[in-house]
């Protein structure tokens, strides 16, 4: 059977800008080496680079698969030790592009095959990719075409008919609601949350059978002017938001210098000690209330958040088991809430133009979304006794 590919319309426009990149992907995080490349590097014969390769790669004993078999050493500034003075890769310069390991070959591209469709997306942790993803004023659109098979390896998911249909219904519903700009982004997410809560109340088989009917009921609400009335009794939980901000901006250890700079500015106010913001809930609430109207009425903020979430749904939601869509909604929500805190916390200092927004979201993506502990810890912080995971996610959306 002929394979097809599904990708955002901007996917093929991406091109690495190399040493001109303002936040190189060769610094600020662990850089994995797949097993085949690791062994090739260890046995490299080229005298111009063989000693450097042996010196600057290590086994990754905590790796979970062959793609994480090894890792590059980083210098004191967190940069890959295989970079030259111009921040260019000496492996590629000496041995050619084909010598790059799997991680360095594919990034920031993300490819996965679901049944007979290869889905292609980009990662917002790359500044150039982030610009393509976030600055779509009319929203992200997708194109389907005959597949061009990537030369690198990628994951494969086989879905049975009922799971496949359930996956497509859920994903299209989330994207359609998020791209309907009748209401602010929070209300769109709250509507998705109501749909998820209804799914959560159903047995597994009933979810598969009733998802399409539920979408037919919930999707029109995205255009309903009365939608805000459905949530008027919901009140912000400033204590939980303060706990998240304290962990996110004070306790979380990030290797990305760019994130540390953006996070370090957040919630700074003239004549106000930052400790007061993180320790005094009333002070924190006052800060949020002061700058919340600017955030809510800022069209570019709403646009980039929408595009960030749509890209996240397309690239990261892949139904494999019954709970996936419910767990994914919690994952989607906590990312949005943390990113919103970072934006509101900086709104009194940054201009929040396109450059500032791309920088903020890209730094967040690089520091938080490629850290195995960050999101799970954040989800633990919002947990409320007696509430399901979906209810917890819904309540933290209100601000």
Measure Cα distances from 222 to 171, 289, 290 in Å.
15, 26, 28
Between 276 and 298, residue with greater pLDDT: 298
pLDDT, tens digit, 9 for 90 and up, residues 237-265: 999 999 999 888 877 777 778 888 888 88
How deeply is 217 buried, as exposed, middle or buried, from its count of CB atoms within 10 A (0-12, 13-18, 19+)? exposed
Q: For 112-120, what is the mean pLDDT?
A: 93
Please give the model's pTM, rounded to 2 decimal places: 0.92
Q: Which residue in 358, 384, 382 sits closest to 247, CA to CA? A: 382
- pLDDT tops 70 at residue 235: yes
- pLDDT for 272: 63
Q: Which residue reads 């394979």 in tokens?
A: 3
Between 393 and 143, residue with greater pLDDT: 143
Q: Both tokens of residue 350?
A: 């940054």
Helix (H, G, I), strand (E, B) or coil at 56: helix
* DSSP H or E segment with residue 143: strand 142-146
Helix (H, G, I), strand (E, B) or coil at 350: coil
- pLDDT for 322: 45
pLDDT, tens digit, 9 for 90 and up, residues 154-203: 888 888 889 999 999 999 999 999 999 999 999 999 999 999 999 989 99
- pLDDT tops 80 at residue 90: yes
Q: Average pLDDT of the chain? A: 90
- pLDDT for 265: 86
Contact (CB, 8 A) for 191 and 222: yes
Contact (CB, 8 A) for 393 and 338: no
Contact (CB, 8 A) for 278 and 252: no
pLDDT, tens digit, 9 for 90 and up, residues 268-287: 877 666 567 888 999 999 99
Q: Both tokens of residue 302?
A: 């709403």
Distance CA 81, CA 275 (A): 37
How deeply is 46 buried, as exposed, middle or buried, from its count of CB atoms within 10 A (0-12, 13-18, 19+)? exposed
């Amino acid at each position: 059977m002929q394979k097809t590919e599904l990708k955002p319309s901007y996917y093929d426009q991406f091109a690495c800008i190399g040493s001109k990149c303002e936040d190189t992907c060769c610094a600020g995080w662990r850089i994995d080496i797949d097993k085949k490349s690791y062994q090739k590097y260890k046995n490299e014969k080229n005298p111009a680079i063989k000693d450097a390769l042996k010196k600057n790669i290590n086994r990754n004993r905590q790796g979970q698969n062959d793609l994480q078999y090894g890792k590059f050493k980083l210098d004191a500034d967190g940069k890959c030790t295989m970079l030259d003075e111009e921040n260019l890769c000496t492996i590629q310069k000496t041995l050619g592009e084909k010598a790059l390991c799997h991680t360095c070959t594919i990034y920031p591209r993300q490819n996965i095959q679901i049944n007979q469709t290869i889905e292609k997306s980009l990662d917002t942790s790359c500044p150039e990719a982030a610009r393509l993803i976030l600055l779509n004023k009319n929203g992200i659109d997708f194109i389907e075409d005959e597949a061009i098979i990537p030369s690198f390896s990628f994951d494969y998911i086989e879905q049975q008919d009922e799971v496949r249909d359930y996956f497509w219904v859920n994903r299209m519903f989330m994207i359609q609601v998020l791209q309907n700009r009748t209401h602010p982004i929070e209300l769109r997410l709250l509507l998705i949350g109501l749909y998820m809560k209804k799914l959560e109340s159903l047995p597994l088989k009933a979810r598969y059978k009733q998802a399409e009917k539920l979408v037919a009921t919930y999707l029109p609400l995205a255009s309903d002017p009365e939608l805000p009335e459905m949530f008027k009794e919901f009140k912000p939980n400033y204590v939980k938001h303060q706990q998240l901000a304290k962990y996110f901006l004070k306790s979380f250890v990030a290797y990305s210098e760019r994130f540390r700079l953006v996070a370090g500015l957040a919630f700074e106010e003239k004549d106000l000690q930052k400790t007061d913001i993180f320790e005094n809930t009333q002070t924190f609430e006052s800060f949020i209330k002061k700058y919340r109207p600017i955030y809510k009425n800022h069209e570019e903020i709403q646009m980039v958040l929408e595009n960030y979430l749509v890209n996240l749904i397309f690239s990261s939601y892949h139904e494999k088991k019954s709970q996936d869509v419910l767990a994914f909604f919690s994952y989607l929500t906590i990312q949005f809430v943390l990113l919103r805190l970072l934006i509101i916390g900086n709104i009194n200092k940054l201009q929040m133009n396109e450059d500032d927004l791309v920088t903020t979201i890209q730094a967040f993506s690089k520091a938080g979304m490629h850290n195995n502990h960050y999101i799970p810890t954040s989800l633990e912080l919002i947990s409320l006794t007696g509430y399901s995971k979906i209810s917890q996610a819904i309540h933290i959306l209100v601000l």
